[in-house]
Amino acid sequence: MLYGRYEHTVDAKNRVFVPAKFKEALDNSFKLTYNDFNKCILVYSNREWDKYEEKLAALPTLQFEDYIREIFSNTVDVQIDSQGRIVIPQFLKDKVDIQKNVLFMGVGTHIEIWAQEVFEEKRKSINMNEMKKLMIEMGF
């Protein structure tokens, strides 16, 4: 399980350090894609990506073809360089409004990379009382 929150800075060449804790789980190469629902980049180990790809393949093509197209056409392979960094492609940075400061967040089976400002805005919209109520209803 991936968890934790780490702040980093993207440099002028779109490079960013991968948190050491996450590097072990990802190996040297992995996938980046984006989530338009939450406006963040999703990071999948190759093993987790294979599982996700299987789920996508099981979706009814007619109803989900636009979603499937969007995911696959915006997914890239990245590798960690000798300094422990990856390059975030400009088109992904643009989709999720990354300028300089980013948050790497472990969310179980994958990692999310957020523009820090975008995440802070999203956080303001979360109603924790409603969330607590829902969790209680579900038996937590």
Is 80 exceeded by the pLDDT of residue 35?
no
Taking the whole predicted model, whether its pTM rises above 0.85 is answered as yes
Give the Cα-Cα-Cα angle 45, 34, 119 (nearest 5 degrees).
105
Higher local confidence (pLDDT), 80 or 129: 80
Q: How confident is the model at residue 129, as a pLDDT? A: 82
Q: How confident is the model at residue 125, as a pLDDT? A: 80
C-alpha to C-alpha distance for 76 and 43, rounded to whole angstroms: 10
What is the pLDDT confidence band of residue 85, given thresholds at 50, 70 and 90?
Answer: very high
Mean pLDDT of 97-126: 93
What is the per-residue pLDDT across 119-130, written as a single tens digit (0 to 9) for each? 998 888 877 888
Count Cβ atoms within 10 A of the Cβ of residue 35 and give its class: 0-12 exposed, 13-18 middle, 19 or more buried. middle
CB 116 within 8 A of CB 104: no
Architecture of domain 2-137: 3-Layer(aba) Sandwich (3.40)
